[in-house]
Structure 1
Amino acid sequence: MSRIAPWRRAALAAGTCTAVASLLISGATGAGAANSAAAPDIDIAAVKADLAELQSIADANGGNRAHGQAGYKASVDHLKKKLDAAGFTTKIQEFTHGGATGYNLVADWPGGDAENVVMAGAHLDSVDEGPGINDNGSGSAAVLEVALAVAKADLKPEKHLRFAWWGAEEYGMVGSTHYVNELGSGELGKLDAYLNFDMLGSPNPGYFVYDDDPALEKVFTDYYATKNIATEPETEGDGRSDHAPFKEAGVPVGGLFTGAEATKSQAQADKWGGKAGESFDPCYHSSCDSPKNIDDKALDTNTDAIAHAIWQLSS
């Protein structure tokens, strides 16, 4: 989750986005609904192994994976190697921020209608203070394992699938903004949906679903309903996470989050068994954000929810 102040909240009307996404979802109720049932169960052990590798990268590079530091570039290279081996077409996009080179990693799955793209992403960078395993190794690893599951299944989606990992997001959506600006209006118009995944394994987790677009929100809330898991609309990250540049550009956005900052009321805290003022993640932006700072059940459930959404929305 970016450290940018909450006042930078996306302010554009979502009417057009909602209409586009509603068409997207309605088109998935036939063959898409059948195909979505085939979405695989993502092995939590594989996601946890990815997190251990990201921790090892941080350990070998000064304790973090932050923009401008060796640990971040090593993280990009590590993911790219896995995606290349799985058959993705990958691209590293460079940009500059604060006098340092930043990197976005973009991976396209061959095939599907290039005029209709479903995209999933997460920020890969940590803060300087720690390895960033929940924030946002969790989202990065979950998106990675779903992408690898697409390759393992040799999925033949009707829509084109694209996955991305952003750099320098902890400085305020720098990498994702660069990507959106470079993409241009023509290519942006081909994006049916951008799904963002930020902090998916917070201790004492909440199941927060982005409410920016009702149709995309419903894909996730319906899934959690089948698991008897109560969800909350995600508002804390509005304008503060990687989806904001896409939303501002008119792309329908959705996604998941398990909480970072303190609960604001006892009623909210009661739902997660905590106390008002208690953080969902006591290691947020600190050195203890390690693999020990992960709720395995939340990470497992959320990763499977990503797979469900990707299978359904790309059909």
Structure 2
Amino acid sequence: MNVLQLNTEALPRVSVVMPVYNVEAYAAEAIRSVLAQTFNDFELIIVDDGGSDASMEICRSFSDPRITIVSQRNRGLAGARNTGIAAARGEYIALLDSDDRWLPEKLMLHVIHLDNTPEIGVSFAPSRFIDAAGQPLRIVQRPKLKSIAPEDIFCRNPVGNGSAPVLRRSALDTVAFAHPDDRMRTCWFDESLRQSEDIEMWLRLSLTGGVRFEGIATVQTEYRIGGSGLSAQILRQYESWQGVVARMASYAPEFTARHVARARAYQLRYLARRAIQLGDAGMAMALLRGAVVSSVRPLLEEPAKSLTTFGAALVGRMIGPDQFARLAGRAAGGQLVA
């Protein structure tokens, strides 16, 4: 009887934090991908971020003792992640956005990685892009996996997206801070950011926390590309990235000044490739021009990827937006690295 009680109250190895806000079309897929994990010593913390659709009804339809639902007023993705991390009990924290999916071996592989390399604080894996219907695209993020320096994170963001990492709780706590308007609340992600909050966190972990990042080789995350207002989203993403740079300059001014031109060029090229994938050749070309003005380093360091991106944008300008949009997936190429 006592043994049974101890097992019931045992802490999970992994806490999965999944914010939910108006994602009724995708929430069930995300939850099923967690429940299908081959590693099952986890808790799934679903954070209701105050949406207005049927997302939470869908979440509550799942009956599994490992699921906990926490509700809050809308605070955005960073705020919802903070709420989930505050409630988490696991040694490792896995992040999953509710419109993405995991492959079944993901948690097992990251737990093995972190268990066997105690010097690593953040484990991540490559991601495959999927469309709004969940169908795989011909785009796979294949980032640098080892010997990752802060400038790699700034310029290339090897983690790639917010559903890719599994982090040690102890690593996260090296950069925890009190919320500026509510000192009783602990934050890990910067809630003033509505985009790019993940790259800001990875940079802070690396630069101020001294946390080491390392990836595993196989694709384990399916990252969904949405289908509306996407050109505006690209511009907002760049504006948010500039906000991250401003924040970083406040605590690492020398590092920021040394690497910002190259990082801006890579960011603009990445956004240009997103614009190509979305069929907007005009925006892609404008972004590429800005990249070259900022720095020619991406062109010299990755000539094939850079020239392919320029070529795709030029083809789009020649054949017109309608035909280019139909060919966009092919024009974007087979790989996209953040």
TM-score, scaled to structure 1:
0.32
Query: Which protein is richer in helix relative to its size?
Result: 2
Structure (1 or 2) with the larger CA radius of gyration: 2
TM-score, scaled to structure 2:
0.30
Higher relative contact order (CA 8 A, sep 6+): 1
